[in-house]
Amino acid sequence: MASAWYVRLCAVVIILSLDSFVSASKYDKVHHNSGTHHVPDGGLRDNYYHRSCPHVEKIIFKEISKCFKADKKIAPGILRMSFHDCFVRGCDCSLLLKGNNTERSSRSNANLHGFEALNAAKDAVEKACPGVVSCSDVLQYATRDVVILAGGFGWNVPGGRRDGTVSKVEDVNLTNLPSPRANATNLIQLFESKGMTLAQMVVLSGAHTIGKATCITFDNRLHSDIPEPYADPYSPSFKLYLKSQCPNPNMFVRVNLDSTPEKFDGRYFHDLVHHRGLLTSDQTLMSDSRTRHCVYKNRDDGVFKKNFAEAMVAMSKIGVLTGKDGEIRRRMEVVNSK
Ligand SMILES: *[C@@H]1O[C@H](CO)[C@@H](O)[C@H](O)[C@H]1NC(C)=O
Ligand SMILES: *[C@@H]1O[C@H](CO)[C@@H](O)[C@H](O)[C@H]1NC(C)=O
Ligand SMILES: *[C@@H]1O[C@H](CO)[C@@H](O)[C@H](O)[C@H]1NC(C)=O
């Protein structure tokens, strides 16, 4: 079972959408307040680098767009990295640190994708403004950017996170990251333990509107005669399709997480209503009466994209380091030498 939890938000192909450019230029406008900053909470604030590195968001968007054009899989990849970073020790970029027994070395992080894109973005930022912008903020800006590139709405990313210097493989466990076999209770409790609401949990599960999961994360629902207690069974036609993809147990074949895997849209939630949720942790959101109404609501593209953007701002504030805590790492993958 534990072998399975590394595929909540996985890799796939997405298409470039026009939305992106509309939303991107919107940021430029929103980002012009001079003088006093609005301080939302936790020491983070919008437009954090407007004096110290005024073009940081443009620099990152440019690098990430370039990488996305070459490899659409960085969208689900970076989105998943953000989730795995924020839920383990907070959004401190500890996930990116290389080394023995770091978070990154965990089996649940074995399939992460998009490191090169993040390194490229950070290196470009360091060139323009050395030692100013944290890796944690670069990751959050890049996450917003890949959602835009895949067709979602953007959001203002509050900045000012500092980077962690500690990264432990044992922190990557089921108290911090949900199993693909989690039921609604498990998911609600885990998100609540991070200060996130039930509604935010459901909408963030919609990250599975892009990406793929390997057969082993759900094939218990295909090859077992024992009904899954917390998720209604697959629709017959979907089950036939999945059996053709994963004919035997424990295969590493990758299957789309929703029926429009190239688009960041509300289709994931339609699929849940039609018993086409891939993982137990997806379908349980429809099967459980506490979360079902949120599934219905998020079927609307506009509602989903707006709710998702808001929930991502909330997620990006989990357990952040600010002030004198942590450091501004010069590189994504190693701590600064003392
Ligand atoms: C990781 O472990 C290997 C083998 O024990 C050792 O050779 C290497 O120096 C270690 N690396 C770090 C960064 O600690
Ligand atoms: C899981 O991670 C938490 C910290 O986030 C830690 O307190 C706990 O000991 C870990 N559990 C195991 C079994 O290592
Ligand atoms: C959900 O899963 C947990 C074990 O992880 C179990 O204790 C609980 O009874 C399950 N069902 C519900 C409805 O909470």
Over residues 204-226, the pLDDT tens digits come to 999 999 999 999 999 999 988 78
Between the CA of 40 and the centroid of ligand 1 the distance, in Å, is 42
Asked whether residue 131 is domain-assigned, the answer is yes
| Substitution candidate for ligand 1 out of 98, 100, 101, 105 with most atoms within 8 A of CB | 100
Note the residue count of the chain: 338
Atom 13 of ligand 1, nearest CA residue = 99
How high is the pLDDT of residue 10?
29
232 marked ligand binding residue: no
Residues 296 and 203 reside in one and the same domain:
yes
| Substitution candidate for ligand 2 out of 88, 173, 176, 193 with most atoms within 8 A of CB | 173
Picking from 142, 174, 206, the residue at the C-terminal end of a domain is: 174
**Which atom of ligand 2 is the closest one to the Cα of 174?**
1
* CATH code (residue 240): 1.10.420.10
How high is the pLDDT of residue 28?
38
Over residues 139-172, the pLDDT tens digits come to 999 999 999 999 999 999 999 999 999 999 999 9
Asked whether residue 127 is domain-assigned, the answer is yes
Average pLDDT, the chain: 88
* Nearest one of 125, 104, 85, 124 to 321, comparing CA atoms: 85
* Nearest one of 105, 109, 134 to 121, comparing CA atoms: 134
Residues 194 and 136 reside in one and the same domain:
no
Residues 140 and 191 reside in one and the same domain:
no
In the annotation, is 84 catalytic?
yes
Q: What is the DSSP string of 70-133?
A: H-TTHHHHHHHHHHHHHTTTSSSSGGG--STTSGGGSGGGTT---HHHHHHHHHHHHHHSTTTS
Q: 262: pLDDT confidence band, cut at 50, 70 and 90?
A: confident
94 marked ligand binding residue: yes
What's the average model confidence in pLDDT over 20-28? 37
Residues 164 and 276 reside in one and the same domain:
no
pTM above 0.85, yes or no: yes
Q: Which of 84, 113, 270, 275 is flagged as catalytic?
A: 84
Over residues 56-77, the pLDDT tens digits come to 999 999 999 999 999 999 999 9
How high is the pLDDT of residue 227?
80
Residues 52 and 200 reside in one and the same domain:
no
Residues 116 and 225 reside in one and the same domain:
no
Determine if ligand 3 sits within 6 Å of the CB of residue 186: yes
Picking from 121, 146, 174, the residue at the C-terminal end of a domain is: 174
Give yes or no for residue 323 having a pLDDT over 50.
yes
Asked whether residue 328 is domain-assigned, the answer is no
Q: Determine the structural domain holding residue 223 and report its residue range.
A: 184-312
Residues 123 and 238 reside in one and the same domain:
no
Picking from 124, 141, 174, the residue at the C-terminal end of a domain is: 174
Residues 191 and 213 reside in one and the same domain:
yes
Q: 337: pLDDT confidence band, cut at 50, 70 and 90?
A: confident
Q: Report whether 110 contacts 104 (CB < 8 A).
A: no
Between the CA of 58 and the centroid of ligand 2 the distance, in Å, is 38
Residues 248 and 127 reside in one and the same domain:
no
92 marked ligand binding residue: yes
Give yes or no for residue 4 having a pLDDT over 80.
no
Atom 5 of ligand 3, nearest CA residue = 186
Determine if ligand 3 sits within 6 Å of the CB of residue 183: yes
- Tally of domains in the chain: 2
Over residues 89-142, the pLDDT tens digits come to 999 999 999 999 999 999 999 889 999 999 999 999 999 999 999 999 999 999
